[in-house]
Amino acid sequence: MQAMSEMNAVSRISQSPQGPGRLGAGENPAKRDQILDGAKKVFAANGFDGASMNDITKAAGVSKGTIYVYFNNKEELFAGLIHRERERIFDAVGSILVDTKPLQDVLFDFGMMFGRHMSNADTVRSLRMVLGVIDDMPEVANMFLNCGPTKGAHQLKDYLATRVDKGELVLEDPLLAARQFADLCTAGLFKPCLFNERVQPDDAEIEKTVRSAIRVFMKAYAA
Amino acid sequence: MQAMSEMNAVSRISQSPQGPGRLGAGENPAKRDQILDGAKKVFAANGFDGASMNDITKAAGVSKGTIYVYFNNKEELFAGLIHRERERIFDAVGSILVDTKPLQDVLFDFGMMFGRHMSNADTVRSLRMVLGVIDDMPEVANMFLNCGPTKGAHQLKDYLATRVDKGELVLEDPLLAARQFADLCTAGLFKPCLFNERVQPDDAEIEKTVRSAIRVFMKAYAA
Amino acid sequence: MQAMSEMNAVSRISQSPQGPGRLGAGENPAKRDQILDGAKKVFAANGFDGASMNDITKAAGVSKGTIYVYFNNKEELFAGLIHRERERIFDAVGSILVDTKPLQDVLFDFGMMFGRHMSNADTVRSLRMVLGVIDDMPEVANMFLNCGPTKGAHQLKDYLATRVDKGELVLEDPLLAARQFADLCTAGLFKPCLFNERVQPDDAEIEKTVRSAIRVFMKAYAA
Amino acid sequence: MQAMSEMNAVSRISQSPQGPGRLGAGENPAKRDQILDGAKKVFAANGFDGASMNDITKAAGVSKGTIYVYFNNKEELFAGLIHRERERIFDAVGSILVDTKPLQDVLFDFGMMFGRHMSNADTVRSLRMVLGVIDDMPEVANMFLNCGPTKGAHQLKDYLATRVDKGELVLEDPLLAARQFADLCTAGLFKPCLFNERVQPDDAEIEKTVRSAIRVFMKAYAA
DNA sequence: AATGAATGAGAGTTCATTCAT
DNA sequence: TATGAATGAACTCTCATTCAT
């Protein structure tokens, strides 16, 4: 009868009155993904306001009614999309190496990952999309942002702190240093991409930027 | 004299047959600013699509018809707003000191200006507003962006090149270095503000960030 | 203070409180005609609804306020225009010869006048204009129509009746005969022009049509 | 099958993926007719510009959105209406008898049909409606006019030519003669009706007019 | 469970009319 | 007196959402 926010769809499965093998309304994950795939295309191309539910309907290949079974309204559909994208990115970021390799190798790996991520055309489009609704749907926006641009620096901060403890680095403010390194890795990449002043850079340019970032960072903070 | 939507300023002036002392339709700068002030609030709060002409009408305290005397449509109203904001910011950026003072003082002045600007709540709102229409109104967006975030690094690049010539700095890529310094000056400020993760920083925090940026930059590039 | 319908403007002149030589508001016939001239162009080109008071303002070279001094509203402006046009056409129709010339000459003169009139591009445009408002402003429409297409046949009817009395014609229903002759004179001219299927005919074609009409009419009704 | 606005019928049909028994959007002929019925009332009463989509909405008993599913815009709605009316009238005109009956009987049948048609209140309203948009939508207007007032005379012309060949009539210009006869049949009917000077005539009056037309015509052109 | 035809509030825009200058 | 900047109701059209099938 009533649809529910995707937030708690999973927990509801067990309450479904249908027999085994029969999926309840709004509980088919494949259909859900099909909807989100369509929504992603349309939202990315047109922004939140510019995207019409009709377009999403066509892009997803499902009927209007079906979308409203899975998501109560456009806003929750968008939230569901962001939530899914977040998970994907989170996995990527989560599996980063902050471990036993030499410091400069770790910085390089992190830098390349971060540089690639923040200048990726897809990511940039998503960021713009989210920035467009940041005032109207702050929790949705934060859900997305806390794992991407922000998460990176925070994870790095913890890593840098351990290196300070080990005497490899000398710095007073690990969070600031982490942010500095992160921003150095996207110097000339992130802002121009966000502002549409340039296209997505290739790996060579990212590497050049990251290597320069490491050089600057190490001259400033190496023990 | 008054600023005008560059789209139709010429044609509008030429068809105004009235003598001096009487303002033609759409030529009262005070009313024009009144409209833009209202539009700024509503656009900043809701984005381009989210802002309704009705809301702008109320916020500006003028009737709908009046807005359409001054601006042909919503898009030109937005363009007019961006144009005005650009001029304000351009003046600020244009008067930067890149001169005969000691290098570190110049870097400090530039850093403070850039840090303040890029973390200013007003600027950030404008940036988000513009990022929301970057695909639909690229020329309008560029008009705005080319003077703010971008301009800074390019001006700094030229200055750094002269310091390299004078033997004060050693660096191969002045543009990259300029971008690095600019990004160091907004580390922990710009992105968090843009993403609404923090409020506008006070001068003390900006200064702390800029001083750290100078330290890092000089360790990396001082002769 | 208040403007009045042009219907009674004349009678009001004597009530004007101004001294001699000074025209009261809405009482300058030259300005009135200037307005109507502009209105005629715009109404003819765009129809009643399609004509905007702004366009009329420009075409007439007067201000919006002035028009509203002379005419209370758009409808009365249109009525004023129709009223003036009516007078012009009425004069033309009124001076027609229904007199002492031979019957066939009179029929020819009448036929040419009627044929020219009913196929004239200007008249046709006016007719269409009036047909467009015939339901909303019936009195206005009738004011115009009663002097043009209708008047002709009625005047002719009286003339034909005298010829019957003189024994030149044999017919029972002079009004029907008059209408028949009038319609014969515009066969292939009026309806195609009204329906935009053909352009205004030249005099040669009108004459050919009128001569054929006379031939048919005389064979049918000559004594 | 159902009639359709010829503008988009093809594209609409091709994108309807549903199986038989389910009607696609804008493909329910009953609803389409319901909309056109409402539109007819409002357009006939107010003209094209005077008719508001809101009024049509109410008159048709459907929502605004529904109208826009069936017709892309007001103009196409009007075109759809004219198209439907044309078909109705065309059938009536098409089935006219131009055959093996005696000449005077054929003329009588034709005359009655034409006289009835051109003085019919419905037809007259439609004509006025169409005359109101003849400058803005010429193709739509012609679509309608070419089958009604015009078609009649042209069909008659061909018939008269055969009677000339058979020696029953003597005339040089069959098209002119056809137009003359047609106009004789509506003398005192068409123009007064079009100009709202009289109400729709009854059959007795039409017959009287047609019989007189035949008498005049035969005296003029009978062999 | 899934569909998509139908809804109607609200969008951007126009324009007849008013009134301070 | 004449002006035209300002008004706001009404316009055409869109689209998130609902619900009968």
Instruction: Tell me the mean pLDDT in the region A183-207.
Output: 95
CA atoms within 13 A on the CB side of D202: 1
Instruction: Tell me which residue range forms the domain holding B113.
Output: 2-221
Closest of B129, B189, B192, B118 to residue B152, by C-alpha: B118
For residue B32, what is the enclosing H or E element?
Answer: helix B29-50
Alpha helices in C51-186 (DSSP H): 53-60, 64-70, 74-94, 103-119, 121-132, 138-145, 149-165, 174-185
Alpha helices in A23-173 (DSSP H): 29-50, 53-60, 64-70, 74-94, 103-119, 121-132, 138-145, 149-165
Strand E and C48 CB separated by under 7 Å: no
Chain A environment of B149 (Cβ under 8 Å): 191, 195
Chain A environment of B145 (Cβ under 8 Å): 195-197
Q: Look at B152-156, C52-56, C202-206, D170-174 and tell me which has the smallest mean pLDDT.
A: B152-156
Nearest to C187 among D134, D179, D209 (CB): D179
Return d(Cα B79, Cα D194) in angstroms, integer: 52
Contact A80, A145 (CB under 8 A): no
Q: Note the pLDDT of residue A10.
A: 36
Between C168 and A4, name the one with better pLDDT.
Answer: C168
**Residue D13 scores a pLDDT above 80:** no
Condensed to tens digits (0 to 9), the pLDDT of residues A17-70 reads 444 445 566 678 899 999 999 999 999 989 899 999 999 999 999 999 999 999
For residue A218, what is the enclosing H or E element?
Answer: helix A203-221
Three-state secondary-structure class, residue B27: coil
B199 DSSP assignment: P
Q: How far is the CA of B70 from the C1' of F9 (A)?
A: 20
Instruction: Tell me the mean pLDDT in the region B141-168.
Output: 84
Beta bridge partners of residue C222, listed in sequence order: C169
Q: A212 and B141 in contact by Cβ < 8 A?
A: no
Three-state secondary-structure class, residue B26: coil
Condensed to tens digits (0 to 9), the pLDDT of residues C62-71 reads 999 999 999 9
CA dist A208 to A106, A197, D104, D136, Å? 16, 19, 100, 63
A8 DSSP assignment: G
- The amino acid at residue B196 is N
Q: Residue C193 corresponds to which tokens in the numbers above?
A: 């022009």
D 44-83 residues, CB < 7 A, strand E: 62-66, 68-69
Q: Look at C63-72, D26-35, D54-63 and tell me which has the smallest mean pLDDT.
A: D26-35
A 70-89 residues, CB < 7 A, strand F: 73-75
Three-state secondary-structure class, residue A222: strand
Strand F and B65 CB separated by under 7 Å: yes
CATH number at residue D100: 1.10.357.10
Instruction: Tell me the mean pLDDT in the region B34-48.
Output: 94
Using CA coordinates, name the residue in chain C closest to D175.
C188
Question: For the CA atoms of A75, A79, A80, A81, what is the dihedral angle to 10 degrees?
Answer: 100
- Which residue lies nearest E10, CA-to-C1' measured? B52
Chain B environment of A213 (Cβ under 8 Å): 180
Nearest to B187 among A136, A176, A221 (CB): A176
Q: What is the DSSP string of A161-207?
A: HHHHHTTSB--S-HHHHHHHHHHHHTTTTHHHHHTTSSPPPPHHHHH
Q: B135 and A213 in contact by Cβ < 8 A?
A: no
Please tell me the total count of domains within chain C.
1
Q: A196 and B49 in contact by Cβ < 8 A?
A: no
Q: Note the pLDDT of residue A6.
A: 38
Q: A183 and B187 in contact by Cβ < 8 A?
A: yes
Chain C environment of D46 (Cβ under 8 Å): 135-136
Nearest to B132 among A132, A191, A220 (CB): A132
Closest of C210, C15, C130 to residue D131, by C-alpha: C130
Entry pTM: 0.83
Instruction: Tell me the mean pLDDT in the region C24-53.
Output: 89
Return d(Cα D182, Cα D210) in angstroms, integer: 9
Contact status of D55 with chain C (Cβ, < 8 Å): no
Q: Residue D23 corresponds to which tokens in the numbers above?
A: 């009607």
Q: Note the pLDDT of residue C3.
A: 35
Name the pLDDT band for D5 (thresholds 50, 70, 90). Answer: very low
**Residue D221 scores a pLDDT above 90:** yes
Name the pLDDT band for D176 (thresholds 50, 70, 90). Answer: very high
Contact C132, C141 (CB under 8 A): no
CA dist D137 to A91, C43, D131, D132, Å? 60, 17, 10, 9
Between A37 and D22, name the one with better pLDDT.
Answer: A37
Residue A199 phi, psi dihedral angles, 5° rounding = -90, 170
Neighbours of A144 (CB within 10 A): 24
Neighbours of C43 (CB within 10 A): 27
Strand F and D52 CB separated by under 7 Å: yes
Chains in contact with D via at least 3 Cβ–Cβ pairs below 8 Å: C
Q: Which of left, alpha, beta for D61 (phi over 0: left; psi -120 to 50: alpha)?
A: left
**Residue B21 scores a pLDDT above 50:** no
Q: Which nucleotide is nearest to B75 (CA to C1')?
A: E12
Q: Residue D79 corresponds to which tokens in the numbers above?
A: 């075109």
Neighbours of C204 (CB within 10 A): 8
Contact status of B206 with chain A (Cβ, < 8 Å): no
**Residue A81 scores a pLDDT above 60:** yes
Nearest to C132 among D47, D186, D213 (CB): D47
Return d(Cα B159, Cα B113) in angstroms, integer: 15
Condensed to tens digits (0 to 9), the pLDDT of residues A136-179 reads 888 888 887 777 667 778 888 988 999 999 999 999 999 999 99
Return d(Cα B2, Cα D67) in angstroms, integer: 46
Q: Which nucleotide is nearest to D16 (CA to C1')?
A: E4
Q: Look at A25-34, A197-206, B57-66, D110-119 and tell me which has the smallest mean pLDDT.
A: A25-34
Chain C environment of D175 (Cβ under 8 Å): 188
pLDDT averaged over every residue in chain C: 84
Orientation of helix C138-145 relative to helix C74-94, angle to 10°: 20
Neighbours of A203 (CB within 10 A): 11
Q: Note the pLDDT of residue D28.
A: 87
Q: Look at A78-87, B170-179, C208-217, D206-215 and tell me which has the smallest mean pLDDT.
A: A78-87
Cα A211 to chain center, whole Å? 24
Q: How far is the CA of B83 from the C1' of F8 (A)?
A: 29
Chains A and C touch (3+ CB pairs under 8 A): no
Look-up of token digits 């005339």: D171
Contact C89, C71 (CB under 8 A): no
Using CA coordinates, name the residue in chain D closest to C205.
D176
Q: Which residues contact B135 (CB under 8 A, 6 or more apart)?
A: A47, A196
Q: B150 and A47 in contact by Cβ < 8 A?
A: no
Q: Look at A179-188, B47-56, C89-98 and tell me which has the smallest mean pLDDT.
A: C89-98
- Which residue lies nearest E12, CA-to-C1' measured? B53
**Residue B105 scores a pLDDT above 80:** yes
pLDDT averaged over every residue in chain B: 84
Strand E bases, protein C-beta under 7 A: 1-20
Using CA coordinates, name the residue in chain C closest to D141.
C195
Return d(Cα D44, Cα D38) in angstroms, integer: 10
pLDDT averaged over every residue in chain A: 84
Strand E and D162 CB separated by under 7 Å: no
N-to-C CA span, chain D: 49
Return d(Cα A159, Cα A114) in angstroms, integer: 15
B 49-88 residues, CB < 7 A, strand E: 51-54, 64-65, 68, 72-75
CA angle C11–C14–C20, rounded 5-degree value: 140
Contact status of C151 with chain D (Cβ, < 8 Å): no
- Which residue lies nearest F12, CA-to-C1' measured? D53
**Residue D9 scores a pLDDT above 80:** no
Q: Residue D5 corresponds to which tokens in the numbers above?
A: 């606005």
Q: Which residues contact B20 (CB under 8 A, 6 or more apart)?
A: none
Strand E and A38 CB separated by under 7 Å: no
Nearest to B215 among A153, A187, A220 (CB): A220
Q: Note the pLDDT of residue B91.
A: 60
- Which residue lies nearest F5, CA-to-C1' measured? B25
Between C9 and C115, name the one with better pLDDT.
Answer: C115
Instruction: Tell me the mean pLDDT in the region D101-117.
Output: 91
Condensed to tens digits (0 to 9), the pLDDT of residues B62-90 reads 999 999 999 999 999 999 999 988 877 66
Q: Which nucleotide is nearest to B66 (CA to C1')?
A: F6
Q: Which residues contact D203 (CB under 8 A, 6 or more apart)?
A: D112, D116
Q: What is the DSSP string of chain D?
A: -----TTTHHHHHHT----TTSPPTT--HHHHHHHHHHHHHHHHHHHHHH--HHHHHHHHTS-HHHHHHH-SSHHHHHHHHHHHHHHHHHHHHHT---SSS-HHHHHHHHHHHHHHHHH-HHHHHHHHHHHTTTTT-HHHHHHHHTTTHHHHHHHHHHHHHHHHHTTSB--S-HHHHHHHHHHHHTTTTHHHHHTTSSPPPPHHHHHHHHHHHHHHHHHHHB-
CA angle B95–B96–B98, rounded 5-degree value: 130
Chains in contact with B via at least 3 Cβ–Cβ pairs below 8 Å: A
B8 DSSP assignment: T
Neighbours of D62 (CB within 10 A): 17
Condensed to tens digits (0 to 9), the pLDDT of residues A105-144 reads 999 999 998 899 899 998 898 889 889 888 888 888 888 7
Radius of gyration of chain C (CA): 21
Name the pLDDT band for C92 (thresholds 50, 70, 90). Answer: low
C 1-30 residues, CB < 7 A, strand F: 18, 24-26, 28
**Residue A217 scores a pLDDT above 60:** yes
Q: Note the pLDDT of residue B165.
A: 93
Radius of gyration of chain A (CA): 21
Q: How far is the CA of C1 from the C1' of E20 (A)?
A: 15
Name the pLDDT band for B16 (thresholds 50, 70, 90). Answer: very low
Orientation of helix B74-94 relative to helix B29-50, angle to 10°: 110
Using CA coordinates, name the residue in chain B closest to A179.
B187
> Largest Cα–Cα distance of chain B, in whole Å?
65
Instruction: Tell me the mean pLDDT in the region C32-52.
Output: 93
Contact status of C83 with chain D (Cβ, < 8 Å): no
Contact status of A212 with chain B (Cβ, < 8 Å): yes
Q: D184 and C188 in contact by Cβ < 8 A?
A: no
Q: Note the pLDDT of residue C142.
A: 83
- Which residue lies nearest E11, CA-to-C1' measured? B52
Q: Is the dihedral of CA C176, C182, C185, C188 positive or negative?
A: negative
